[in-house]
Amino acid sequence: MLLLKNGYMIDSASKTEGYRDILLNTETGKIEQIRQRETKAGQAADSSRESDIHRKQENLLAEETEIVDLNGQIVAPGLVDVHVHFRDPGFTYKEDIDTGAKAAAKGGFTSVVLMANTKPTVDTVETLRYVLEKGEKTGIHVYSCANVTMGMKGKELTDMEALSACGAAGFTDDGIPLMDEEMLREALRRAARLNRPVSLHEENPALIANNGINAGKAAAHYGIGGSPREAEISMVERDIRIALEENADLSIQHISTKEAVELVRQAKRQSRHIYAEAAPHHFTLTEDAVIRHGALAKMNPPLRCEEDRMAVIEGLRDGTIDMIATDHAPHSIEEKKRPVTEAPSGIIGLETALSLGIRELVQKGYLTMMELICRMSYAPAKLYHLDAGYIKAGGPADLLVFDADKMWTVDKFVSKACNSPFVGERMPGVISYTICDGKIVYRG
């Protein structure tokens, strides 16, 4: 058993918050009981001193129960990231499932959904089974999407039924947009029958001269063509139209332009099937960061303008954008040291996401802490049908404990990679514990 005392619980699923004692069963991985307190140092609000949890608190002291006094720190559901790259199989010099899971735990994530652009790609039951079986050994919940098309070549659909039966959380060819409209339509139909979301990378390669750099001030700085906003806008417009026609769950990945945010906003008024995710870098940085940091701030889709950054924030604020997903994309130091046009796109994000959400969204008044926790736990879990993102007796004992005001400096990473433009920055939000299945998997 693990008893968390004097924590300030925030649960966006039930929209409740306040001081609680939470008893976790480390054998079943479930929350045993939750007891309300008047204050972090006061007596429990329950008038009965003979309540079950009170007796257990006394009796279990002799049963090797670990008791942790949180002294008013926030207790939230373990975070859920539905867009990460652990590079396994095929690119494990960048990251592997074990190190990726450790980075996730350090960042407060207890559930992650892996993208499928590995080598081989996750287009067969055999590869999916390899990923999921390796994930089971990490201490956190590792799920995986499977590919929409074989080899991510956009020519032939995968056996989506078999992959779903094997445990695919959703379907994506993230990294490569699906250009064939009829193939996308059929994929959405199949996914709808399977009750699985399809998440799409929205950039038309025909419009892009150099990926990862916005076709604006940043591209001009490097003397290249860059990636224009129209590359995203045109794909989002097309894919929303098809998803609406098919009544299929569609998630727009790492949205970056104000026009795409508005397209999602309008579509949500017509259907409950349209979703969108925002990466922390897109609500934090602009293309100025690429000029300042070079390839360390190069990603697909690229960092855009200030008005785009603010549109992403407004989308998160008004619910147009349902969730925050890191797009954790590790690369080696050698790869990121290449010239900006040759270096791969992507940055790591698992270990800084919560802090960026606190700093950029909560402290600046755009979201409440409960809303931030919702975008980072309950909302993504709900789309991907994961038993996660909420705190309830009998529910999963997956929790995050953190001090929202305490500061830390971004320096060392648990990830194999360190490709982040945030290195050296001071940020709020120090994670004390990440707990998965009732067991502490990270201690700060």
Q: Which residues are catalytic?
A: 327
Contact 346, 286 (CB under 8 A): no
Cis peptide before 301 (omega within 30 of 0): yes
Q: Which two tokens stand for residue 144?
A: 């995986």
- Strand arrangement, sheet containing 323-324: 198-200, 250-252, 274-278, 323-324
Query: What are the structure tokens assigned to 356, written together?
Result: 């960026």
Other C-beta atoms lying within 10 Å of the C-beta of residue 41: 11
**252 touches 224 (CB < 8 A):** no
Residue 98, SS3 per DSSP: helix
Torsion angle defined by CA atoms of residues 123, 271, 245 and 188, in that order, rounded to the nearest 10 degrees = 10
Task: Name the phi and psi angles at 442, rounded to 5.
Answer: -150, 130
What CA–CA distance (Å, rounded) separates 370 from 362? 9
The CA radius of gyration of the chain, in Å to the nearest whole number, is 22
- What is the C-alpha to C-alpha distance for residues 390 and 113, in angstroms, rounded to an integer? 17
225, β-bridge pairs = none
CA distance linking residue 67 with residue 2, whole number of Å: 6
What 3-state DSSP class applies to 225?
coil
In what helix (H) or strand (E) does residue 313 lie, and over which residues does it extend?
helix 306-318
* Measured CA angle at 239 (ends 237, 242), to 5 deg: 110
In whole angstroms, give the CA distance from residue 179 to residue 204: 8
Decide if 417 contacts 332 (C-beta within 8 A).
yes
Q: How many Cα neighbours within 13 Å face the side chain of 385?
A: 13
Buried/exposed code over 378-390 (b: 16+ C-beta within 10 A; e: otherwise):
bbbbbbbebebbb
Strand partners, 33: 23
Between CA 191 and CA 184 the distance in angstroms is 10
β-strand 74-77 against 2-11: which pairing, if any?
parallel
**Which residue type occupies 254?**
H
